[in-house]
Structure 1
Amino acid sequence: MGTAERREAPQLSAGATAVAERDTQAEASDRDIPAQEEQEAEERAYYRPLWVEEPARGPRLPDPVRTSAVRAVIIIAVTLVQAMVAFLSTLAGSWLAFPMVLSSVASTVVATWGALDVWVTRQVWIQRNGVVSTPSSTARALRRERRKARRQERASERAKERIRRRGGAGQLSHS
């Protein structure tokens, strides 16, 4: 594809443009025009990394929860392998089929326990250690109003207490 054709061609994707420009560079090098440096510069311009590292979305799981999650994944993986062996040995008519079916049933119960263990461990950890939460602006406003009302109530109580302590100061007579 020549230069004129490339200029008149409709918009190409970045990859197609890079291929077209490489072809043009190959034509240029066929004519003994030094284009090696230009080609390297263009290849660097079109370089895209395979992936872009992004920060983790949230904090990592607490240690007890992570431990129970790893345990559950291992148990579930073993259960799946047992179920597959039981199925294949049943199809093959092997003597191993019956014991594998029994152990697969038992492993399914254990795998269910493992999955529940992750959930329970997480709930217990949250209950003991609390969760970092950011209250919404509505919650903040309500708390602010409650605090203001409590302050006013305490101030009026103090004022009443002061009047009682003075023994009725401000009265014209004691009679």
Structure 2
Amino acid sequence: MRTAAVRAVLIMSLTVIQAVVAFLCTLAGSWLAFPMVLSGVASTVVATWSVLDVWVTRQVWNQRNGVVSVPSSTARRMRRERRSARRAARAQARKDTRIRRRGAGGLSRA
């Protein structure tokens, strides 16, 4: 997956460079303009194919494994709820130990 993404980025960058060269050749009136435009069209098709390959592969992987790499708002909300529940439990435990200490001291004096 990662190598396909790198390959797609390289192909896209070469296609952009090729398009710029074809444009400059056209402006200069060079004989190289027509072949560069034809190869630019072909490389655009290849670049589109490579980007689609990466995109479809990622979608299939996500569908099979059921995991999305970006944390969703649901996951964030659940994490927040767990964190607040832990805080509340710790606060309750502190309160219980304080009450026990105070209660035990009060009973021994009576």
TM-score over 0.5 for the pair: yes
Q: 1:95 maps to what in 2?
A: 31
> Following the alignment from structure 2 to structure 1, what is the Cα–Cα distance between the partners of residues 3 and 66?
19
Q: Displacement of 1:106 after TM fit?
A: 0.8
Q: 1:123 maps to what in 2?
A: 59
Give structure 1 stretches of 5+ with no counterpart: 1-63, 138-175
Deviation by residue 1:29-67 (Cα, 9 ceiling, x = unmatched): xxxxxxxxxxxxxxxxxxxxxxxxxxxxxxxxxxx1x22
- 3-state DSSP of counterpart to 1:112: helix
Equivalent AA in structure 1 for residue 49 of structure 2: W
Alignment identity in percent? Answer: 75
- 1:62-101 pair list within 5 angstroms: 64=1, 66-101=2-37
The alignment yields a C-alpha RMSD, in angstroms, of 2.1
Flag the 1:77–1:135 CA change in 2: closer, same or farther, 3 A. Answer: closer
Flag the structure with higher helix content: 2
Task: Indicate the structure (1 or 2) with the bigger Cα radius of gyration.
Answer: 1
**TM-score for both structures, normalised by structure 1:** 0.38
- 3-state DSSP of counterpart to 1:95: coil
**TM-score for both structures, normalised by structure 2:** 0.58
